[in-house]
Amino acid sequence: MTREQLVEFYRLMYLSRRTDDREIVLKRQQKIFFQISCAGHEALLVAAGMAMCPGYDWFFPYYRDRALCLTLGNTVEEQLLQAVGAAEDMASGGRQMPSHWSSRKLHIVTPSSATATQCMHAIGCAEAGRYFAAHPAAAKKHAGDYREFKDVTFQGDEVTYVSLGEGATSQGEFWESLNTASNAKLPVVYVVEDNEYAISTPVEVNTPGGNISRLVANYPNFHLVEVDGTDPLACYRAMVEAVEYARAGRGPALVHGHVVRPYSHSLSDDERQYRSEEEVQADNARDPLAKMQLWLLREGILDEEGINRLEQKVDEEVHRAADRAMQAVLPSVTREAILRHQYSEELKPTDARFDTQPEATADASERTMAELINHCLKDEMRRDERVVVFGEDVADATRDEALRAGEIKGKGGVFKLTAGLQTEFGSERCWNTPLAEANIVGRAIGMAVRGLKPVAEIQFFDYIWPAMHQMRNELAAIRWRSNGEWSCPLVIRVPIGGYLTGGSIYHSQSGESIFTHTPGVLVVMPSNALDAAGLLRTAIRCDDPVLFLEHKRLYRETFGRGAYPGPEYAIPFGKAKVVRAGKDLTVVTYGAIVPRALQAAEKLERETGVDVELIDLRTLSPYDWEAIAASVQKTSRVIVAHEDMLSWGYGAEIAARIGEELFDELDAPVRRVAAMDTFVAYQPLLEDAILPQAEDLYRAMEEMARY
Ligand SMILES: Cc1ncc(C[n+]2csc(CCOP(=O)(O)OP(=O)(O)O)c2C)c(N)n1
């Protein structure tokens, strides 16, 4: 480093520390509401920022990384606006805590507060960079779908930075990310900021043997460096080496920096409650700021006066920034402003462009839902080179020599929905992932942030839970928490549901209401082949994350087959289908209950003449309230039916809204038909008793008609 760089290095470290100090004062004055500092980590982070290129490389930092972000080009004022929760806070518009950095211009991707989730996003980001370099045409804008609103930039040799504390390395997502970084030799630089404490929990609890780089040492392709993170020159050397290694395409790197934490975990924590005085003093003696100041003086790079001048200028800068931040306009509290950017503001999945008619094609033979989903995936992959498909066992064959030689047919998913995709589009566009659901969803998020369109698969709904953290805290939240600056439109396809005869607890679960209760994600559940094709197309082309629930029992049923509707057939979200028009009572349902309710309704009409109107919602979030209201106004009697458990279920919300808004229309209490409040059992007799059957629906309809 030149003299100027060394002085700048110190200036940035000091700037970061003084910004923390200012925030601490503001917090004590109750002008801001949370404070977490970078103190003690500055040397490692300024080194990282100086070794990388803002707006060229990509950054997934965590809350300690103030000094990194200042080095990349974040200003103190921007950081203090976040602390105030100002309307002009670029990172989130007052939605996130301070120290949750974000800048599109600098490629700092919005982080959550959850520890280690960002590791998976960094992997997806690096994979996307590599993909676009190999398929540059895919980056082009395209009118008519999400690509219209997603700028894609790539360099070919960009490096992705991701940081975390040593405590966070205990999280599965850290290890799930190492798996893919190592296997795919991805250009990712991990920085583990080891201050030996995760709040009050010391390193030996989180890391067997107390040293994370020693544990990572057996991962192939990694460049590992362990460094004194309070030594600026050693940190800079370590970071430059690591970045060079990754940029040259040799694989990922992990820089393990031993740092200190002089200001406790956050302002809400007092480390003297759990650390001895001796230990705290030993840490203080390693403070990187004091060490570098001394070093600059000793080496004659700055004299005392030079240090004073530099520090005074920084103090004034921080002071001015704080004054400006205190004057900032606060966010609007209108309902509209609060909900803004929950979903894409540019392209709604309810848009008329998604309302097209099936095409008559030469082959009019009836196809199953499984076949039409497979056709839709193929058509969309042909149309849009950004679509990639991955998950457990979705590829035809990972070891693809025999496949390419035409000697084997390939698997293509446990339900064969993705059959032939790898064969037609290659292993870069359809591949098998490790058996790790957070890896699947987390990578998909990172890819979608960069502009790819992942259509990932979770093998069974029953196993979606390891990915739940990624889905609720990341996928659903990214657009809202960054105030629209970042988005991750993608599709997660999930086989769901029971009526399988022998599926048992772990292959028959429902649980859609858990996701409709999550803002930011759209939830779709078709009941027939044609709807599945049209809704999946909209899911792929729209600009929001979509959970696409495919009922396993409906995949190959005779009910609901349809002819191939052509490659442009789409159905807008939020538009229910009247499966059977009727005048006496309404049944609102979706998924595998549709054929069962239809069977019950037809029997009821034959036997009693009662005429049931059957509504298939098709999309659960958003849902078609107008269709429900119109039908209830006509029939004055309504049953909400679903396969999932009764209590706290999807039907509770619909029933409550009918009660609130349509009470005067009703001639009978709203009724729900659903599963018992338990898991689905293996023995078919038990399964039949637990899940709602056509007879249960029949009985409910008949009783309601008589009420
Ligand atoms: C998934 C998750 N669990 C718990 C927390 C609460 N929490 C916030 S920070 C923290 C400790 C993190 O320690 P470490 O990773 O060592 O980083 P440091 O804060 O020391 O830099 C915990 C437990 C969280 N944010 N996310």
**Can you give 425-467 as a three-state secondary structure string?**
HCCCCEEECCCCHHHHHHHHHHHHHHCCEEEEECCCHHHCHHH
- Nearest atom in ligand 1 to 198's CA: 13
d(C-alpha 590, C-alpha 190), whole Å: 45
- Nearest atom in ligand 1 to 206's CA: 16
Closest residue by CA, ligand 1 atom 13: 198
- Nearest atom in ligand 1 to 195's CA: 20
Measured in Å, residue 445 CA sits from the centre of ligand 1 at 21
Please report which confidence band the pLDDT of residue 386 belongs to, taking 50, 70 and 90 as the band edges.
Answer: very high
Interval 316-334: pLDDT, tens: 999 999 999 999 999 999 9
Which residue among 65, 68, 115 has the greatest number of ligand 1 atoms within 8 angstroms of its CB, and so is best to mutate?
115
Interval 447-489: pLDDT, tens: 999 999 999 999 999 999 999 999 999 999 999 999 999 999 9
Measured in Å, residue 115 CA sits from the centre of ligand 1 at 5
Which residue among 35, 199, 256, 260 has the greatest number of ligand 1 atoms within 8 angstroms of its CB, and so is best to mutate?
199
Element (H, E) at 106: none
Please report which confidence band the pLDDT of residue 362 belongs to, taking 50, 70 and 90 as the band edges.
Answer: confident
Interval 336-350: pLDDT, tens: 999 999 999 999 999
Percent of all residues in the chain with a pLDDT value above 90, rounded to a whole number:
99
- Sign of the dihedral through C-alpha 228, 233, 235, 238: negative
Minimal CA–CA distance to 489: which of 499, 481, 500, 478?
478
Q: What is the pLDDT of residue 361?
A: 85
**What type of residue is 453?**
K
Contact indicator for 458, 492 with CB cutoff of 8 Å: yes
Q: What is the DSSP string of 570-596?
A: ---TT--EEEE--SSEEEEE-TTHHHH
- Sign of the dihedral through C-alpha 476, 481, 483, 486: negative
Interval 627-653: pLDDT, tens: 999 999 999 999 999 999 999 999 999
Percent of residues in the chain assigned helix, strand, coil, to nearest 5: 45, 15, 40
Measured in Å, residue 348 CA sits from the centre of ligand 1 at 36
Closest residue by CA, ligand 1 atom 24: 114
Q: Which two tokens stand for residue 298?
A: 């000793």
d(C-alpha 454, C-alpha 459), whole Å: 15
Closest residue by CA, ligand 1 atom 17: 165
Interval 79-123: pLDDT, tens: 999 999 999 999 999 999 999 999 999 999 999 999 999 999 999
Query: At residue 168, does pLDDT exceed 90?
Result: yes
Query: At residue 354, does pLDDT exceed 90?
Result: yes
Contact indicator for 673, 641 with CB cutoff of 8 Å: yes
Q: What is the pLDDT of residue 137?
A: 97
Please report which confidence band the pLDDT of residue 182 belongs to, taking 50, 70 and 90 as the band edges.
Answer: very high
Contact indicator for 108, 48 with CB cutoff of 8 Å: no
Closest residue by CA, ligand 1 atom 20: 198
Measured in Å, residue 199 CA sits from the centre of ligand 1 at 7
Query: At residue 518, does pLDDT exceed 90?
Result: yes
Measured in Å, residue 271 CA sits from the centre of ligand 1 at 15
- Nearest atom in ligand 1 to 194's CA: 16
Q: Which two tokens stand for residue 241?
A: 């080496």
- Residue 103 gets which letter from DSSP? B
Averaged pLDDT, 205-219? 97
> Is 507 a known active-site residue?
yes
d(C-alpha 126, C-alpha 157), whole Å: 10
Averaged pLDDT, 663-692? 98
Strand order, beta sheet including 387-391: 430-432, 387-391, 453-457, 491-496, 546-551, 522-524, 619-621
d(C-alpha 506, C-alpha 271), whole Å: 44
pTM across the whole model: 0.98
Q: Which two tokens stand for residue 634?
A: 């006509």
Q: Which two tokens stand for residue 306?
A: 């030079």
Measured in Å, residue 492 CA sits from the centre of ligand 1 at 28
Contact indicator for 287, 40 with CB cutoff of 8 Å: yes
Q: Residues with Cβ within 6 A of ligand 1?
A: 64, 113-115, 164-168, 193, 195, 197-199, 265
| 512 burial type by CB count under 10 A (0-12 exposed, 13-18 middle, 19+ buried) | buried
Of 41, 341, 375, 507, the catalytic one is: 507
Average pLDDT, the chain: 97
Please report which confidence band the pLDDT of residue 242 belongs to, taking 50, 70 and 90 as the band edges.
Answer: very high
Averaged pLDDT, 544-562? 97
